[in-house]
Amino acid sequence: EAEVAQSPRYKITEKSQAVAFWCDPISGHATLYWYRQILGQGPELLVQFQDESVVDDSQLPKDRFSAERLKGVDSTLKIQPAELGDSAMYLCASSLAGQSYEQYFGPGTRLTVT
Amino acid sequence: GQSLEQPSEVTAVEGAIVQINCTYQTSGFYGLSWYQQHDGGAPTFLSYNALDGLEETGRFSSFLSRSDSYGYLLLQELQMKDSASYFCAAWGSSNTGKLIFGQGTTLQVKP
């Protein structure tokens, strides 16, 4: 069964360092999402791509976060510099175009900033 | 703004039926999805309601009333493995059709 791949699964970094996460969506899924999930809360959308274009990044802290999906397939989310408040689970999801209601999530990257 | 409300915790016994409610306020509402997330795991899609009424998928059913901005997830014949967090998520037009998640309901199934 096709799955969304993410790496790394866990990342510990020091405050002010740079960190990057990678996501490979399910083949054929044109829409890719990056979410941040704080323990005990629901996922919060950071950025949504349709193919290689950003269609929503309204909640992305653009002073320190960046995301790209250059060829419309896999994607990278970067944080620079990391802050203590960035400690969270970062989830990647994908869906067929026009079917945002049914998203398939990767296992996530648990980020701890010390 | 857009928001969803659901109870933070629900407890039930094995074999019982439990209902998790969700009320929403969102512009350009298309429909309501439900996701399950086990501790340490990723959310998995359970169901989607675009129209009013009940949708049944095995032991799980989901209901939507657009006029009341309300939906629920019904879990029957509860099993221990159903212990997880359950999120309702509203799909709206806004400008990108993004999914807005509720804060989640933690279901604890006891023997």
What are the strands of the beta sheet with A19-24, ordered from one edge? A5-7, A19-24, A75-79, A65-68
Show residues of chain A in contact with B41, CB under 8 Å.
107
What DSSP character marks residue B103? -
Tell me the CA distances in angstroms from A102 to A79, B45, B90, one per residue in order: 27, 6, 11
- A61: contact with B, CB 8 A cutoff: no
Sign (positive/negative) of CA torsion A107, A30, B63, B77?
Answer: negative
pLDDT tens by residue, chain B, 111 residues: 678 999 999 999 999 999 999 999 987 889 999 999 999 999 999 999 999 999 998 999 999 999 999 999 999 999 999 999 999 999 986 656 789 999 999 999 999
Query: Which residue's structure tokens are 């094995």?
Result: B14
**Using a CB-CB distance cutoff of 8 angstroms, which residues of chain B are in contact with residue A91?**
42-43
A25 vs B: CB within 8 A: no
- In Å, how far from its chain's centre is CA B16? 18
Q: How far A10 CA sits from the closest chain B CA (Å)?
A: 12
pLDDT digits (tens, 9 = 90+) for A13-72: 999 999 999 999 999 999 999 999 999 999 999 999 999 999 999 999 999 999 999 898
Q: How far is residue B111 from each of residues B16, B18, B44, B52, B107, measured CA to CA in Å? A: 10, 14, 24, 34, 13
Nearest to A91 among B30, B42, B99 (CB): B42
